[in-house]
Amino acid sequence: MELEELRKKIDSIDDSLVELFCERMRVSADIGRLKALGGLEVRDLERERAKLADVAGKADESLREYIGALYSRILDLSCAYQEKLKQAAAATRTQQR
């Protein structure tokens, strides 16, 4: 394959990744709302460790460290988003009082 063909393939994969990441973050927001209603903490370290082990096990051995790094970042971003939404909801409730 030529360089331009490979770049087009990467661009297509990136489009899919963006779409899937946005969908994941929407579901993460839903989880964050349920956690807030249940009085649960945003971070669940046991769940995160299990998730990291799960995705690492699905990757080619040569890519496991990279999958681990990617998913560590994804989990951090998901928790940051949930925390942001939790704070925004708390601020809204405070203003309504």
CATH of the domain at 36: 1.20.59.10
Task: Give pLDDT tens digits for 29-59.
Answer: 999 999 988 999 999 999 999 999 999 999 9
Report how many domains make up the chain. 1
Q: Does the reported pTM lie above 0.75?
A: yes
The contacts of residue 83 (CB under 8 Å, 6+ apart) are 32, 42
Under the banding of pLDDT at 50, 70 and 90, the label for residue 92 is confident
- Domain holding 53, by residue range, is 3-96
